[in-house]
């Protein structure tokens, strides 16, 4: 089909032609004119280490460029026509052998600085995952990757040499979690808490909020959000078993 001008051609395909005709034209004519960023997921994986009484985040030490020997969030590039949470499920499974579900991933705002990655234009879409007690023992022996993994306590993160902007992404994710905690209550970290004692709750809040929490105020502050729960199976417990709670639905 011949057109007198580019404007006439565009008008025809956008406002007269069928959608099938438009898409054929668009992929040939317009689509190549738009630079394409790569899209990656970076996964903030949190757990509460009940033995050490610490909130921890999973990091991996890169063994190749870029950022060789620096510490990064678990993640990677999307495959064609894969949605963000599907990519998160795949990368966690590949790198830790942990099988998670879509509802365990919370999508955070993307990081889109065009110079954040020396390989090119890469947009990072952070995903926050709170491991429940049944998931918190992660198998880090996946054969597909020979990276060095480590669970870092929140108090240790200031000493970590991060890859790219991953330290900033992690700080942003923790700030988002604490903001949701203040606006949504304990439901914002229901997975992380699992079944817990009031002492567990005190420790987790102190480490997330980075401030002292008075134990005596906890139950009164959160009493409307708690319900009694059966104690988990304990390896060994000396003395009286404390009361256990879960977040009320």
**Residue that wins the pLDDT comparison between 80 and 139:** 80
| Predicted local distance difference test score (pLDDT) of residue 139 | 59
**CATH label, 38-247, candidates 3.20.20.70, 3.40.225.10, 3.40.50.300, 3.90.79.10:** 3.90.79.10
Neighbours of 185 (CB within 10 A): 16
| Average pLDDT over all residues of the chain | 89
Helix, strand, coil tally for the chain in percent (to 5): 40, 20, 40
Grade residue 29 by pLDDT with cuts at 50, 70 and 90: confident
pLDDT digits (tens, 9 = 90+) for 84-137: 999 999 999 888 888 899 999 999 999 999 899 998 999 999 999 999 876 656
Tokens of 10: 């565009």
Q: Where are the domains of the chain?
A: 1-34, 38-247
pLDDT digits (tens, 9 = 90+) for 142-185: 444 556 889 999 999 999 999 999 999 999 999 999 999 999 99
Tokens of 137: 């023992």
pTM of the model: 0.86
The pLDDT of 63-71, averaged and rounded, is: 92
Alpha helices in 16-128 (DSSP H): 19-29, 84-96
The pLDDT of 15-35, averaged and rounded, is: 88
- 148-153 and 122-130 strand pairing: unpaired
Nearest Cα neighbor of 64 from 134, 142, 163, 155 is 163
């Amino acid at each position: 089909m011949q057109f007198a001008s580019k404007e006439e051609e565009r008008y025809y395909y956008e406002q007269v032609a069928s959608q099938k005709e438009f898409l054929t034209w668009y992929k040939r004519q317009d689509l190549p004119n738009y630079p394409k960023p790569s899209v990656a997921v970076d996964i903030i994986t949190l757990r509460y280490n009940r033995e050490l009484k610490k909130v921890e985040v999973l990091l991996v030490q890169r063994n190749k460029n870029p950022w060789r020997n620096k510490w990064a969030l678990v993640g990677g590039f999307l495959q064609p026509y894969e949605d963000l949470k599907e990519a998160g499920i795949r990368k966690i499974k590949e790198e830790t052998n942990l099988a998670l579900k879509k509802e365990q991933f919370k999508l955070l705002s993307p990081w889109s600085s065009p110079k954040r990655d020396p390989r090119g234009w890469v947009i990072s879409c952070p995903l926050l995952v709170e491991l429940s007690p049944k998931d918190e023992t992660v198998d880090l022996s996946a054969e597909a990757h020979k990276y060095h993994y480590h669970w870092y306590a929140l108090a240790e993160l200031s000493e970590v040499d991060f890859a790219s902007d991953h330290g900033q992404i992690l700080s942003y994710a923790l700030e988002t979690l604490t903001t949701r905690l203040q606006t949504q209550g304990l439901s914002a970290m229901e997975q992380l808490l699992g079944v817990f004692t009031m002492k567990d709750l005190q420790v987790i809040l102190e480490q997330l909020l980075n401030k002292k929490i008075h134990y005596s105020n906890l139950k009164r502050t959160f009493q409307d959000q708690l319900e009694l729960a059966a104690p988990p199976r304990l390896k060994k417990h000396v003395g009286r078993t404390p009361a256990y709670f879960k977040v009320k639905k």
